[in-house]
Amino acid sequence: MTPERYAKILRVLHRRQPTLTVLMDQVNKPHNLSAIIRTCDAVGVLEAHAVPPDDGRPLEFEGHAFEATSGSAHKWVRVQRHADAVGAVRGLQARGFQVLATHLSQRSVDYRDADYTRPTCVLLGAEKWGVNDAAAEAADANIVIPMYGMVQSLNVSVAAATILFEAQRQRLAAGMYAAPQLSPDELRNRAFEWAYPDLSAACRERNEPYPLLDDTGQLPA
């Protein structure tokens, strides 16, 4: 671990947004999952959520299946698995998130009219059929991206990027990237996990605390 690499890890973590997330409901194509997670990383999402396909296929990211455990993680964005979308929506709402479903209904509003400075989860549906009706009804609001062409739908990863960068715009204007939103303990733990993924996994397996790093990201002698 070089000091420069560790400094970049800290800069990125200082801008992470734990109150912004996505819930992917049975999004099953690896390239779409990959694109959504990359967008999450780009806008500062700390943790994403996913309901795997109900046909038994695993979640896959860039050709690699997610682990079957509920807390599987990509390198920079942790992905939390859920058994069903409605249960996931209720759980996120219980944590204080407003859930905005990308779904056309009588109560749909322009996605730009939502307040993304609030704790927000964007609910995205599967490629063919979108968000299921029960999950859309359980959500706090339904949002749509206005379109004026012959086709009235976007690829799910494109829709995710469109909405998440609007969330980023609002949060930048509100100064939410200017100061860390993670607690000092969480910031320190995430920095260790990013800097030393294999060692952090070994520590968790043995139920041991992470070693304290020095200011340049080096392990204690």
**Residue of 167, 162, 168 whose CA lies nearest to 147:** 162
Q: What is the pLDDT along the chain (221 residues), one digit of tens a residue?
A: 899 999 999 999 999 999 999 999 989 888 889 899 999 999 999 999 999 887 656 666 555 555 433 334 468 999 999 999 999 999 999 999 999 999 988 898 999 999 999 999 999 988 777 889 999 999 999 999 999 988 878 899 999 999 999 999 999 999 999 999 999 999 999 999 999 999 999 999 999 999 999 999 999 87
2 assigned to a ligand binding site = no
pLDDT digits (tens, 9 = 90+) for 157-187: 999 999 999 999 999 999 999 999 999 999 9
Name the DSSP class of 217: S
62 assigned to a ligand binding site = no
Domains of the chain: 1-16+182-216 (no CATH), 18-173 (3.40.1280.10)
126 assigned to a ligand binding site = yes
Burial class (CB in 10 A: 0-12, 13-18, 19+), 214: exposed
8 assigned to a ligand binding site = no
Give me the pLDDT at residue 70, please: 30
129 assigned to a ligand binding site = yes
29 assigned to a ligand binding site = no
159 assigned to a ligand binding site = no
117 assigned to a ligand binding site = no
- CA–CA separation, 101 and 135 (whole Å): 8
Q: How many Cβ atoms from other residues are within 10 Å of residue 178's Cβ?
A: 10
